[in-house]
Amino acid sequence: MFLSQIRNSDGSRAVVLRQGAAAHVVPGAASVVALAEAAIAAGRSLADEAVARGKGEPVDLPALLAAGRVLLPADHADPAHMHLTGTGLTHLGSASARDAMHAKADPEQMTDSMKMFRMGLEGGRPVPGAVGVQPEWFYKGNGHAAAAPGAALVSPGFALDAGEEPEVAGIYLIGPDGTPFRLGFALGNEFSDHVTERGNYLWLAHSKLRPASFGPELRLGPLPDHVEGQSRILRDGKVIWEKPFLSGEANMSHSLANLEHHHFKYGIFRQPGDLHVHFFGTATLSFADGVTTRPGDVFQIEVTDFGLPLSNPLVQDPGQPEACAVSPL
């Protein structure tokens, strides 16, 4: 079962429920967040709330996606209350290249990133109810950094790279009492600057302050243990790079519960009404294969079990001033 958000021909918004190939408008729901708030108040699941609303008019989602009328599958009326964050080195292949290089090395000589990966392997999947080792964590921005499916991922003029990261993202709404509620999962492109990250691991935070996209659909229910999809880059309509990617707990060094705990343990991330989009990491990057992207390239991420594919073109900001001047007041 999937939810999505669309723009009607009159400019208004609607929520769409899809089961199998059939999709219809959810009556009385202008947003997924509003629908989730109603589900929380009623004490039932988001899926049950959507089904209880009955069936509105049928919808051709692929046609609407092609027309640019499919929005993010969840967003917030106030972008400042929507948080984009993520974790890294969480998948079994995350450090495969470095693992070969460091396999026989003295652990004390390992890079910090390799040490963190090893920590996840050894302590990232605690028994239920216990707390495991914390993962790498980063902040990407607020709702202003979220690009809708089909919309451009804009690389700033000062960026050194503009690369895709195919991932699964968890979508969460904080309830009135501060409880995080997981609405579901979506495909995500955690767009990043890998040249900046490679320059110095302490620049990871800078490299992640880029836009991101997720959707087009929100998958309800639990995350499959094994997620397998394709990540590709198209240039002038032709595929220039393509590779499978894996996710799901069967392919991760951390459990989902452990990653969620280490994000929501901070009270600042449990503010009632806030929306969170948390990217769970990847082990597949075109950058690792020596690909240099260009403006006009299109990133496409596809997993059959997650519905419609996520596509975004790359746009390069023409430039930035040499220095960002601050005006005294």
pLDDT in tens, 263-310: 999 999 999 999 999 999 998 999 989 999 999 999 999 999 999 999
Q: Band of the pLDDT at 110, cuts 50, 70, 90?
A: confident
- Mean pLDDT (whole number) for 184-195: 97
Q: What is the mean pLDDT of the chain?
A: 93
Q: What's residue 107's pLDDT? A: 55
Strand order in the sheet with 238-247: 153-155, 310-316, 298-302, 227-235, 238-247
Prior bond to 222 cis, omega within 30? Answer: no
The residue assigned the tokens 């209350």 is 81
**35 CB contacts (<8 Å, ≥6 apart)?**
3, 15, 26, 29, 46, 49, 50, 53
3-state secondary structure 79-112: HHHEEEEEEECCECCCCHHHHHHHCCCCHHHCCH
Dihedral (C-alpha) 118, 119, 121, 126: value to the nearest 10 degrees? 170
Query: Is 90 exceeded by the pLDDT of residue 8?
Result: yes
Q: Report pLDDT digits (tens) over 84-99.
A: 999 988 888 766 643 4
Q: Bigger pLDDT: 52 or 322? A: 52
**Distance, CA of 121 to CA of 4 (rounded, Å):** 35
Q: What's residue 261's pLDDT? A: 97
In angstroms, how far apart are the furthest CA atoms of the chain? 64
**Distance, CA of 312 to CA of 300 (rounded, Å):** 7
Taking CA atoms, 253 is separated from 87, 120, 209, 224, 326, in Å, by 12, 6, 25, 15, 43
Q: Is 158 exposed, middle or buried (0-12, 13-18, 19+ CB in 10 A)?
A: middle
**Distance, CA of 62 to CA of 40 (rounded, Å):** 30
Which structure tokens are listed for 74?
Answer: 């969840």
Helices H / strands E in the chain, number of each = 8, 16
Category of 215 on φ-ψ map: left (φ > 0), alpha (ψ -120 to 50) or beta: left
- Mean pLDDT (whole number) for 132-160: 96
- The number of C-alpha atoms within 13 Å of 8 and in the hemisphere containing its C-beta is 14
